[in-house]
Structure 1
Amino acid sequence: GFGKFLLIVGILRTVSCGGWVYITSTDDHLTHDITMIVYLVCTLPWQLGVIYTSARNNPQALKWRPYTTYAFFEWSLILYDVAFDAVTALDFQTFELAVVDVSGGHAGAVPVTKEGYATNVYPEDNISPSFLRTLIKLRGYVSEVYLAFVFWSMLSSLALLIWYFPLWHMGISGYEAFLLITIAPMVLGIRPLRRVMAKYRGVFHILSLVGVASFLAQDPALRLTMTACGLGISVTTWMATWFEARAHVGSLERSILIWGVGLLVHNVVKMAWWTENPIWPIMHRANGGWNEIGIVLAVVASLEVILRDVTSPTSVPEHDLSPAATSPSPSSAIGATGTGNSSWWMAAFGFGGVLYSLHAFFTDSSAIMRYTVDGYPNYGPEPIPWGVATIAALTGGLLVSSSRRLTTSPVYYVVGCLGCAAFTYSSAWNAYYGGLIFGFYSMSVMPALARAITTHPPFKTLLTTFMTYNILCLAHVWTVAYAFVPGGPYLRERTHWVLTGLMLLVGCGVVNARKQATWDVQFKKMVQLHIVKSARSLTRVASLFVIVASVLIAANRSISAVVPAPYHPAEKSFTAAIWTIHFALDDDMWASEVRMRDVIKELELDVVGLLESDTMRIIMGNRDWAQFLAEDLGYYVDYGPSTMKHTWGCLLLSKFPILQSEHHLLPSPVGELACAIHATLDVYGQPVDFIVSHNGQEEDPEDRRLQTTELARVMRTSPNPFVFLGYVVTKPKQPLYYTLFDDGDMNDIDPTDWDRWCQYIGYRGLRRVGYARVSHGKITDTEIQTGKFQVVDNPRDYWKASYERVVESQVLPGLRYPSMFRGRGVRGHRYHVFNEPRYFIH
């Protein structure tokens, strides 16, 4: 699959290269630009793919790689040249060329010195005014991009904070109502309020920082309340800015492009923080948060906006994109738009749909990979380096957005639908390719759909827009949380319905925006044309920096990632564990992966099964904390059933190479869908099978019976040594217990441990060394269960267990559990139940 993809990318890259080389911008400006963008977008996956598939120890390849380094340097000059031209263009936007008849005399006098030389208009100790204007434009652009990043940070954190409460209540908590804060912009139907918020937008951006400062609140409910208030102010401020700029086409387009660049920056920052956002309310200094720095930068950016708005002259209103542009005033044009050919509800549906699309699937560069992941060896793309390709696709879409006729054309819409369909119905690489097309399309139509809503009455348009977004968010959750919400079963495991509805809504918006694309032709000579050109130039520069930053971050993460290696290779031993981690949110609503890393490292776990692990949804913040654990500690990762499979997730971390794996959706006719990973690992040269599974709830006994029966079948039919790490929901010595261990031909790690209900460890064909239970330390509400094993040369001799125990002094030092967890332990982690590890002969 990957080889075919690389071939297609190579052909597309070659053809597009010919497109911009042989078709100049003078011949066909649009074709030239599109082919160059396609070429640049294809270059990154082509280069990374060639490196990935090249033999690392091939002498011939090593010989020519020095030229590769030089080639990267040489071709990077193109990027520098484009960036320089884009910035230089800003200097010339204020120039005017005048043709003057000087036959009758000089058109103007040039001051000269007494020696006859012309004097410099600007003294040497002064800076050129054009250069100052460029710096001011750049400063303003960067400030607003950062404020857009803050908006996306608060938007993507709101549902994550809301999720904490039903997670602990195991049902509707009431805090879900905070989702409706997003409809706050409907108050912009009050015209004086809208004008005040737009005029003093910098002040309101400062007020919105209460959402970023919410990390100071230790109480989860207060933190959620502050975040919701901040988001409500922020989204209302952005909408007020757009609606008051609707009579100034250039300013409106500039603001929308900045908003899109803010999403790109959000993706880059999350890549640098292993899919967390350093200014989220679940972050603080202890787990890698930069909240204070984020607030300071936001205050500085807001002050810049305030000062610039005070000192800048008010723009002269011009007709916007309405068909009534010949009306005597902007307000009459807007009114005509709302009642003319354009439809307010189609505009609202379109932008509400694309906002959901960008939030659900493209607020993290690895989201579409986790929606489409499959079992080994056809696992699909890894977040590093392929997250760069995701960001490049979004960037390309934003750059293409200026071509309204293209982005609102029916053929282009069909391409977007095909990409969405491939993303929905395929898996691994093919689904990822579809996701890239889907992301490119969503980002490219966003500006047109955003502009469309501004030409209609704010109250009903914005209310419908954000209610559309909210309903899609709820539907997105109901597909997996159907057991806990009213009406949930109707959307059970039906993400394809949600995405079909999404594309229909976006289609409504595109049909509506296409009319405005036609009206664009009437306004080529706008008063604010220089603002449009400036905004697009700065967006191209910002896009370049975004891609370069993502490449550097990906390279740094690849270089710094720890190579997986077992803790005790000399003894041929490994420690396996099962742990339910509640979506990496601790008991106090802080991101918990740093604390998880510490205890996993100290327990020297070689194979870890983590349950309730799928956090690639809106309600979990589109996070993939496993990237952090894998790179920081050195693990191979099997993400488990993809997000598109509608489970709560089970994940495998392994110090040993994963030879193959299969993702199971266990029988669940009544309750929530149960998941399992069946993986074969290369453990010191011997294939050993592992299962990581999470059975259904206590309320669904028939589901649990069917699920346990299926797990037993998988284990019984495998010829390899086996370790079971699962969440079973039964007491020892009950019928399901015997189904699992007896029918599965497995041994319970300690049948005398009667104090178990959820988590169990089983094994066969290995020498069992020890067993320990470690308290959770408030990272979650579930303990860590661990077992130590040794690989043996004759697995059949160890198919059945001996339960004779030995004292720790009889165990080799390299096979013992760490002593730091004895007594009071560390950071709330200690050996409990038995208060010490148990050791066995085998």
Structure 2
Amino acid sequence: MSKYKDKEGEVLFSLGGQWVSWAHTLVAYIAFASALVVGIALHYHKIVKNEHYGYPDEWFPSVSATIGDRYPERSFFMIFIAITSGPRFALVGLWYLLTRKSGSRLPRVVALTGVFRTLTCGGWTYITSTDDHDWHDILMISYIVATLPWTTGCIALSPANPRAIQLRKYFAGAFFGTLVPLIYFFIQHKVHKVAGAYTTYAFFEWSLIILDISFDAITALDFSSFEIVVKDNTGLSKGKEKATAGVYSAGFTFTQTFDTIASVYHGFVFWTTLTSLGVVVWFFPLWYMGISGFEAFIMTTISPLFLANGPLRSFAVHNQRTIHFLSLSGIASYLIPNPTVRLCALGFGVFMSCFSWTATLVAESVHEVRFESKVLGLMAGLILSSTAKFIWQTNNPVWPIMHAENGGWNGVGLGLAVVAVFAFSRRAPLTTGSNDKELKGSPSLAAFGIGGLLFGLHSLLSDTSTMILWVWEGFPIRGPYSSTHGWCTVAAMTVGLFAGVARPQVTGGYLAFVAGASGAMVLTFFSHWTGYLGALAIATYLMAVSVPLLSSAVRKSPAVSFGVGFLLYNFLVLFHVWVVAYAFVPGGSLVREHSDWVQMTMMAFIGLGVVNYNRSVPRRQEPKAKRQAASQHKKYFGVATLAVNIVFLCAAYRRFPTNDYKPYHPEDRVMTAGIWTIHFSLDNYMWSSEYRMRDLIKDAELDVVGLLESDQQRIIMGNRDSTQFLAEDLGMYVDYGPGPNKHTWGAALLSKFPIINSTHHLLPSPVGELAPAIHATLDVYGQLIDVFVFHSGQEEDKEDRRLQSEYLAELMGSTDRPSILLSYLVTKPLKGNYNTYVSDKSGMNDVDPSDRNRWCEYILFKGLKRIGYARLSRDSITDTELQIAKFVVPKDADEIMQQKALSAEERNRRVTESQVPKDWRFPSLFRGKGVRGHRYHVFKKPRYYN
């Protein structure tokens, strides 16, 4: 630091640039350290305590607990963090001045990102989670997201200072690497409630703070000869390309960045269109209760067959913008209210999408870099699609079953898709419609590879919860959980994709195939974490093998390799539906319950594609210099895919279970239970019905609800899971029930009360469809209550239903605890199998034996005081009403015995509503005409009992 006289414009004051960095570092560390020291000194036991444990199980405070709401540590932190803002803005400004370069926009982007990070830091600092939990989280997540472009941008722009570059890479890698154990231990604390896990999490959280500040402290090395006059005395902004090995500086342009984003988004549009076809087609057999004829629309995917026609193929290659634009009719189909016409528009979109993408791959196949960029866009689009479905809790926000009323972003998605098409098709095609570089190998074998690959990607990877539910076996949690471990699948997909790009001859080899097949086998035959390790293996392999299989298939006749490939994909789609829908399709019994056959067929198809690739792959490696020169596009897609991963992690943070599950009337020990057949969450107008279901369940004040026809984790149903949205939005625990590999139509349980244990059952079904059941034990106001959720077989299979009634009666009779059955029995009251369910063997009582107008849904109970029963009309949500019952939970064993000892006459004595305490009554808004089409019907009002 020096001082000069004010003579003839001389500088009065100068400051070495490094002091800005040191000031920022010092004050930032003081802000956190002072809060930590003061907090430990004054409120140690309070700041180490969390919602589950306190000292000594938890003995070190988290960052949020330290800087949160307690005085005076919060004040220490806020004062010093406010002081930090001055050096922080100065640091960002100096970095921009140091790195700006004529013709480069990157310095400006990085500087704006730095300003944005500083503002969001102030946001989550001064808006605590107590002040406004949502905005605190939004600003915190925004800060973390902005850290990615800030760190990568700073590395890219680093001046020729090898030590600074090395340190930046070290601290950035350590920062993002720390996120993995951070998330893991947060899950251990939040979901599994492991004692001490939050203390370990706290150490990783503090590590993030240290690494984040340390990364910015490295600027002191670059600013050391930088005077605040302000000018660059040493020209450090020169020569950075050599120091960074040309990783970012070579050819970085806004245009290429925009093209990369457009390519990934257009890949997202392809997968959005393709994955929506099944769920839209599924609406019609549901409506007709059998094969409708509309199933033929799944054949719209075989449009690449038309590329066998030379003139048409030439037209497609040279008019890509037109055909890609036409494919957007699938995204725009949401504008059509009529389900049949909407399906037609979507079918045309799928037809054009498969046709246009195949034509694009053919056109770009003569240029390795451009072809590889298209493949990366297509596959990264799948990762983005899975991420979008995770954010929207397994619904894609631009599917044609979505609209504004149920959370859809269709208009935004369509607008972005139009922009993406123009950018995606900006460059002229490189071929004239014929491929002169066709390699050796068989187009038929290539078609098998494409069919198996597309089916694997679609059936297993289009939603991150699909394979997790394959290995789900109920409570206690002994494996991955959809909302907390979904990113592991995305991470495996990302690693697999770039492994395939980097080493296609390895990932396309036989050893890699054996590893992938082994993963598929483990996923199919094992549960819990063991099964999920197989899931991660097959996820990595499918993404990795996509690059070699696509590159070899595109060099063959596209009509065969892709047209027939999509036909084989359709065969596998039908195959994996037939294994569960065997009772409704001709010849279905031949493949009944054989998901293992589906997996083996898929891997056999992929294996044939691998054989073709190894026959056709050139053995001569490209020169290393040429491969390095062509690698620039990979870095763009790498950063784009990493950004998608970070968005996923931020969404996962937002979706962490809150454990704030409060019943509606705890003061009266009232439990309201319901049973509802939800028809796969498609309403009568072909819109996704989760929002409407949520509103009815909330208005009915259900503490426990059984959902039937709830398994949607198949291609034909969109690979969805409505229970995720319902559970998280309503604040309930959820057991998905038997997974998609158990071949049922689904049974799920939502509960405001903790699920202590749950087991899944497949009841005897020698002829007809499988009957799923859940047996769960809940902790209800300190009393253990057993809840059974059950879906009986169909009406035609009488022997099945008889065997199922005996099995379930024995299961219910095996417990002496108070119990509730929420079920779909397919029987008439007081007749036939009804007398097996309601019997001395089961010990169960009918919620209302006088209700003779039932056939399917029944609520049974024992050991509880039943105080009310009602039937709610469904409006157009589904084809089945919602039945609900209210119970008072006994406090001890004596009260339980008293309830069991009541005679039928005493138990079923009715009273008027005026004789029932107010908090025991059903909601009044469903009286008369009700609300949103829901009203009390059949008896027109609830029934109450003494």
TM (norm. structure 1) is: 0.84
Q: Which residue does 2:157 correspond to in 1?
A: none
What is the Cα deviation at residue 458 of structure 1?
2.0
Partner of residue 418, structure 1: 518
For residues 66-85 of structure 1, the C-alpha deviation after alignment (integer angstroms, 9 at most, x for no partner) is: 5422323455799999xxxx
Q: Counterpart amino acid of 1:267?
A: S
Q: 1:796: which partner in 2?
A: 897
Kindly tell me: are residues 76 and 713 of structure 1, through their superposed partners in 2, closer, same or farther at Cα, counting changes over 3 Å? farther
**Which is further off, 212-221 or 752-761?**
212-221
The correspondence of residues 222-621 of structure 1 with structure 2, limited to 5 A, is 222-306=341-425, 308-309=426-427, 331-334=435-438, 337=439, 340=440, 342-402=441-501, 403-519=503-619, 521-522=621-622, 530=629, 532-558=630-656, 561=658, 563-621=660-718
Query: What is the SS of the residue equivalent to 1:282?
Result: coil
Range moving further from structure 2, 366-375 or 378-387:
378-387
Paired residue type of 1:761 = I
From 653, 664, 668, the counterpart of 2:750? 653
Q: Determine the structure 2 residue equivalent to 1:821.
A: 926
Match of 1:772 among 866, 870, 889: 870
CA separation of 1:236 and 1:827: change in aligned 2, threshold 3 A: same
For residue 494 of structure 2, what is the amino acid of its counterpart? T
Give, in whole Å, the separation in 2 of the partners of 1:78 and 1:156. Answer: 44
In the TM superposition, residue 635 of structure 1 has moved relative to its aligned partner by 0.5
Residue identity matched to 1:52: I
Moved more, 435-444 or 796-805: 796-805
Q: CA deviation at 1:596?
A: 0.3
Residue equivalent to 2:789: 692
Deviation per residue, 1:46-90 (Å, 9 max, x gap):
443333335999998766755422323455799999xxxxxxxxx
- What percent of counterpart residues are identical? 44
Flag the 1:763–1:554 CA change in 2: closer, same or farther, 3 A.
same
Contact 2:768 2:794 in 1 (8 A): yes
What secondary structure is seen at the aligned counterpart in 1 of 2:760? strand
Instruction: Output the CA distance in 2 between the equivalents of 1:80 and 1:294.
Output: 37
Amino acid at match of 1:161: V
CA contact under 8 A between 2:306 and 2:559: conserved in structure 1? yes
Asked if 2 retains the 8 angstrom alpha-carbon contact of 1:44 and 1:389, the reply is no
Residue 87 (structure 1) aligns with: none
After TM superposition, the runs of 4+ consecutive aligned structure 1 residues lying more than 6 A away are 38-43, 55-64, 76-81, 129-132
* CA apart distance, 1:190: 2.2
Name the CA distance, whole Å, in 1 between partners of 2:369 and 2:309.
Answer: 24
Which stretch has the larger CA shift, 597-606 or 797-806?
797-806
Q: Does 1:52 align with 2:187?
A: yes
* Cα pair distance change 1:80/1:373, threshold 3 Å: farther
Q: Does 1:787 align with 2:923?
A: no
SS in 2 for 1:449: helix
CA spacing shift, 1:131–1:407, aligned 2, 3 Å: closer
**Which structure 2 residues correspond to residues 18-97 of structure 1 after superposition, within 5 A?**
46-53=181-188, 67-73=203-209
Summarize the Cα distance change of 1:153–1:820 in structure 2 as closer, same or farther, 3 Å threshold: same
Q: 1:173 to 1:227 in 2, by over 3 A?
A: same
Bigger mean CA deviation after superposition, 457-466 or 72-81 = 72-81
Q: In 1, Cα distance between the equivalents of 2:941 and 2:747?
A: 28
Alpha-carbon contact 2:805-2:837 (below 8 Å) kept: yes
| DSSP-derived class of the 2:806 partner | helix
Structure 1 residue 434, shift from structure 2 partner: 0.9
* C-alpha distance in 2 between matches for 1:347 and 1:564: 52
Contact residue 41 and residue 393 of structure 1 kept, 8 A: no
Partner of 1:776, secondary structure, is coil
User: What does 1:90-239 correspond to in 2, within 5 Å?
Assistant: 134-239=253-358
8 A Cα contact 2:473 2:527, kept in partner: yes
Distance 1:754 1:203, change over 3 A: same
CA distance in 2, matches of 1:744, 1:516: 65
Asked whether the equivalents of residues 205 and 302 of structure 1 are also in contact (C-alpha less than 8 Å), the reply is yes
Residue by residue, what CA displacement relative to the aligned partner does 1:684-707 show, whole Å, maximum 9, x if unpaired? 111110110000011000000000
For the 8 Å contact 1:371–1:644, the answer to whether it is kept is yes
* Letter in structure 1 aligned against 2:278: A
* 2: CA distance, partners of 1:294 / 1:824: 37
In the aligned structure 1, how far is the partner of 2:692 from the partner of 2:807?
34
Cα distance in 1 for residues equivalent to 2:614 and 2:713: 33
Pick closer, same or farther for the CA change 1:298–1:562 going to 2, 3 Å: farther
Gaps of 5+ in 1: 1-35, 82-116, 121-128, 318-328
2:757, 2:777 within 8 Å by CA — same for their partners in 1? Answer: yes
AA paired with 2:208? F
Contact 1:750–1:803 (8 Å) recurs in 2: yes
Please name the residue that 1:103 is paired with.
none
Q: 1:441 to 1:62 in 2, by over 3 A?
A: closer
CA 1:462–1:68 in structure 2 vs 1: closer, same or farther (change >3 Å)? closer
Letter in 1 for 2:548: A
Is this contact kept in 1: 2:447–2:553, CA < 8 A?
yes
688 and 815 in structure 1: CA distance in 2 versus 1, 3 angstrom threshold:
same
SS in 2 for 1:797: helix
User: Residues 203 and 302 of structure 1 are in contact (CA less than 8 Å); yes or no, is this contact kept in structure 2?
Assistant: no
Distance 1:73 1:255, change over 3 A: farther
- Distance in 2 between the 1:235 and 1:196 partners? 15
Which whole-Å CA distance do the structure 1 matches of 2:838 and 2:611 have between them? 60
Question: In 1, Cα distance between the equivalents of 2:281 and 2:176?
Answer: 37
- Asked if the contact 2:516–2:538 (Cα under 8 Å) also holds between the matched residues in 1, the reply is yes
Provide the residue aligned with 2:154 in structure 1.
Answer: none
Partner of 1:671: 768
Q: Which moved more, 1:179-188 or 1:507-516?
A: 507-516
| Long gaps (5+) in structure 2 | 1-170, 218-234, 239-247
> How big is each residue's C-alpha offset from its partner over 1:718-740, in whole Å with a ceiling of 9 and x where there is no partner?
11111011100011111211111
1:633 maps to what in 2? 730
Q: For residues 75 and 414 of structure 1, do their structure 2 counterparts lie closer, same or farther at Cα, with a shift above 3 Å needed?
A: farther
Two-structure CA RMSD over aligned residues (Å): 2.8
Distance 1:513 1:80 in 2: 47
TM-aligned CA distance change 1:422 to 1:705, over 3 Å: same
Matched residue type, 2:609: G
The amino acid of 2:427's aligned partner reads D
Residues 364 and 430, structure 2, Cα contact 8 Å, conserved in 1:
no
TM-score by length of 2: 0.75
Distance 2:177 2:898 in 1: 55
Q: More displaced, 271-280 or 800-809?
A: 800-809
CA distance in 2, matches of 1:286, 1:330: 47
Aligned residue for 2:619, secondary structure, equals helix
CA contact 2:393–2:721 (8 Å) conserved in 1: yes
Partner Cα separation in structure 2 for residue 79 and residue 168 of structure 1: 59
The size of the alignment, in residue pairs, is 739
1:516-560 deviation per Cα after TM superposition (whole angstroms, max 9, x unaligned): 44435157676x974x4122111211221121111101101227x
C-alpha displacement at 1:303, in angstroms?
2.3
Answer whether contact 1:399 1:539 (CA < 8 A) is retained.
no
Asked if residue 812 in structure 1 is aligned to residue 917 in structure 2, the reply is yes
232-241 or 800-809: bigger deviation = 800-809
1:568: Cα distance to partner? 0.6
Q: 1:838 to 1:171 in 2, by over 3 A?
A: same
